[in-house]
Amino acid sequence: MRGVVLLGDRECYVKDFPDPIPGFGQVRVKMMASGICGSDLHLYRMTKEQAKSRGDRIPGHEPCGIVDMVGQGVKKVKEGDRVTVYHYLGCGHCEFCSAGNLMWCREAKGYGGPIDGSHADYVIADERNCVLMPDSVSFIDGAFIACPGGTAFSSMRKLDVKTGSNVAVFGLGPVGLSGVKIAKAMGGRVIGVDVIDLRLDLAMSMGADVVVNSQKEDAVSAIRNFTNGKGVSLAFEASGSTKGRTDIIHSLCRGGKAVFVGVGSNENVINPSQIIGSQLTLMGSFVLPLWMTYEMVNFLDNQKISFENAVTHRFSIDNASEAYKIFDEGKTGKVIFEWK
């Protein structure tokens, strides 16, 4: 099979690997869609030295495809099943794994990290990690569920978006754009904030009510205008920037809630007096639990929503080097590998 290998210093190539064979309790999933994520870029930008110690481990953790081979002991998943693959393998036994929170397992292994990932023709997955999708949910949407969409969905669940809730979304990359779509489907009024006009346009196509370019306009004032001076009750921070984090706290109304998922700046933006005075609830979030993946597949099916408008570039795995390069320039929506 073909698989991507990262060489460090923003270089990668496609290598021929032996086709993997599933072991006991495992299945082989033929990839149909697999996203490139911001966290893949951290690996893409590593030094040559760091890349050497990684070896030819295949990156990618947003797998979606069709099961084409099952190992011994597999009971539920069958050849031909359309599945999104939950991207953390856990020990399967601890208190976190038992509750479906595999990403908290002390032995959790993420695809593309310590185990081969999904920028390849096939991925080997534990049976329990495969979540069946109906035909109404596309392979690209399945790749979104595995990471950017799932991150946004679990965050919107934490915010508990209701009909008429005012929601600010900061950072309109694939995670923020997914957040716009989900918040709208849950009944929210959404204002999106970014510094790149293309991403603001994508947010409008995902259903945002209003968008703001925070390099041209003060985001906090725009949010006050959007809410008759009150501020938003709910906010989602996916930019990871100091400015986004600071602005989001100033944009909340009293009793407001925010979820932070954007990784980036390490500057301290929290003023405890403000949290106390305005009685804010500030939360962090990280992908989604396995059990919620089932809920999210149902949500997409029932609401008839798709994230595909957020995709600006689709590539064959053969053109991996061009795909990584374009996404690395930071001026795209979602960039995805697709198989026909």
Contact footprint for Zn ion (CB under 5 A): 37, 90-91, 94, 97, 105, 147
Look up residue 249 and give its two tokens: 């706290």
Residue 18 CA to residue 227 CA, distance in Å, equals 57
Select 45 or 224, whichever has its Cβ closest to Zn ion: 45
Q: How far is the CB of 187 from Zn ion (least distance, A)?
A: 27
Select 16 or 95, whichever has its Cβ closest to Zn ion: 95
Q: How far is the CB of 249 from Zn ion (least distance, A)?
A: 26
Q: Nearest-CB residue to Zn ion? A: 37
Select 87 or 257, whichever has its Cβ closest to Zn ion: 87
Query: Quick check: 119 and 112 in contact, CB under 8 A?
Result: yes
How does DSSP assign 245-311, residue by residue?
HHHHHHHEEEEEEEEE-----------HHHHHHHT-EEEE--S--HHHHHHHHHHHHHHT---GGGE
Helix (H, G, I), strand (E, B) or coil at 56: coil
Helix (H, G, I), strand (E, B) or coil at 86: coil
Phi, psi of 142 (to 5 degrees): -65, -40
Residue 211 CA to residue 19 CA, distance in Å, equals 46
Q: How far is the CB of 41 from Zn ion (least distance, A)?
A: 10
Pick from 120, 16, 114, 12: nearest CA to 65: 120
Look up residue 283 and give its two tokens: 């939360």
Q: How far is the CB of 135 from Zn ion (least distance, A)?
A: 24
Q: How far is the CB of 272 from Zn ion (least distance, A)?
A: 32
Query: Quick check: 102 and 88 in contact, CB under 8 A?
Result: yes
Look up residue 28 and give its two tokens: 């082989």
Select 256 or 289, whichever has its Cβ closest to Zn ion: 289
Select 91 or 210, whichever has its Cβ closest to Zn ion: 91
Q: How far is the CB of 91 from Zn ion (least distance, A)?
A: 3
Select 37 or 159, whichever has its Cβ closest to Zn ion: 37
How does DSSP assign 120-166, residue by residue?
BSEEEEEGGGEEE--TTS-HHHHHHHHTHHHHHHHHHHHHT--TT-E
Select 37 or 64, whichever has its Cβ closest to Zn ion: 37
Look up residue 60 and give its two tokens: 């990618």
Q: How far is the CB of 176 from Zn ion (least distance, A)?
A: 13
